[in-house]
Amino acid sequence: MDRMLVVVFDTESKAYEGKRALLQLENEGSIVIYAYAVVAKNADGTATVRQSDDPGPLGTLVGTGLGSVIGLLGGPAGLAIGAAVGLLAGSATDINNARISDDFIDDVNKELLPNKFAVVAEIQEDFTEPVDTRMEAIGGNVFRRALSDVRHIVDQEEIAAMKADLAQMKAEHAKSRADRKGKLQEKINQLDSKIQARLEKAKERRIAAEQRAKAKAEFLKVKAADMKAKAADTNI
């Protein structure tokens, strides 16, 4: 299952230790890491990226979600770009891009107080125990949430509601007096423009989700081939 993972630590050194532990878990085959970053919560409430990876072409797809989560962890003050932003540059602070609900961000922010640090990662894991056991031993507080692409369902529902309003307006327009038709037609045109814009945005999200899924599949294929090659070298 693909998940967003945030592990909060009291010190920066512990956060880097947590990052190394995640990479070790990946080497052991317990998880797959799509992207990660080490983040500091500043005294003013902003979040600064101290270190991030560069997973190649996948980064531009996963990075938007990861960057959005980090930006949201900065609260209203947002993201103070650090020296090692990597794949996070240009990411929009948007809960829709983050693909998780705002209650997850709220839960993390209650723990990620100023002058604390966190490892934020998008991962694939089948069992939670390996990460939890390793992070808790270091002193990390683990938060995770399954990633969702349900935004398209919300889009469909909202567009359907707007289309229903449009149909009602058109029905009223057909029966309205001449002096009312002009004003109603203006509202019909405005609503129709909004519907078309929402349809285009929904299409963009759908295409992005398809590209993300394809890129992840290729990423996992490369990872599997790499692990197979390493196993073969070990047996020589």
In sequence order, the β-bridge partners of residue 146 are 3
Please check whether residues 156 and 49 belong to one and the same domain: no
Which of 146, 178, 197 finishes a domain?
146
Q: How far apart are CA 186 and CA 100, in angstroms?
A: 37
Long-range contacts of 224-233 (CB under 8 A, 24+ apart): 227/29
Please check whether residues 227 and 140 belong to one and the same domain: no
Please check whether residues 137 and 158 belong to one and the same domain: no
Please check whether residues 117 and 179 belong to one and the same domain: no
Per-residue model confidence as pLDDT tens digits over 48-75: 888 776 555 445 445 567 777 888 888 7
Q: Which residue has the higher pLDDT, 71 or 193?
A: 193
Q: Give the closest residue to 36 by CA, choosing from 99, 119, 105, 138.
A: 119
Which of 111, 146, 181 finishes a domain?
146
Please check whether residues 99 and 209 belong to one and the same domain: no
Please check whether residues 182 and 200 belong to one and the same domain: yes
Parallel/antiparallel/unpaired status of strands 47-52 and 117-125: unpaired
Please check whether residues 10 and 67 belong to one and the same domain: yes
The model's confidence at residue 181, banded by pLDDT at 50, 70 and 90, is: confident
Q: How far apart are CA 213 and CA 2, in angstroms?
A: 11
This model's pTM is above 0.75: no
Percentage of residues of the chain with pLDDT beyond 90: 33
Please check whether residues 122 and 198 belong to one and the same domain: no
Question: How much is the pLDDT for 86?
Answer: 45
Question: How much is the pLDDT for 112?
Answer: 94
Which of 146, 165, 184 finishes a domain?
146
Q: Which residue has the higher pLDDT, 88 or 125?
A: 125
Please check whether residues 209 and 160 belong to one and the same domain: yes
Q: How many residues does the chain have?
A: 236
Range(s) of the domain holding residue 227: 151-235
Q: Does the pLDDT of residue 193 top 80, yes or no?
A: yes
Q: Does the pLDDT of residue 130 top 70, yes or no?
A: yes
Per-residue model confidence as pLDDT tens digits over 142-175: 999 887 655 566 677 788 888 999 999 999 889 8
How far is residue 214 from each of residues 161, 210, 217, measured CA to CA in Å?
32, 6, 5
Q: Please compute, for residue 137, the number of CA atoms within 13 A of its CA located in the half-sphere on the CB side.
A: 9
Please check whether residues 17 and 82 belong to one and the same domain: yes
Average pLDDT over residues 95-115: 81
Domain count, the chain: 2
Q: How far apart are CA 82 and CA 158, in angstroms?
A: 38
Please check whether residues 35 and 142 belong to one and the same domain: yes
Q: Which residue has the higher pLDDT, 27 or 117?
A: 117
Please check whether residues 45 and 132 belong to one and the same domain: yes
Q: Does the pLDDT of residue 113 top 80, yes or no?
A: yes
Q: What is the dihedral of CA 198, 78, 59, 144, to 10 degrees?
A: -90
Least confident of 36-45, 99-108, 205-214: 205-214
Average pLDDT over residues 218-225: 76
Average pLDDT over residues 191-202: 88
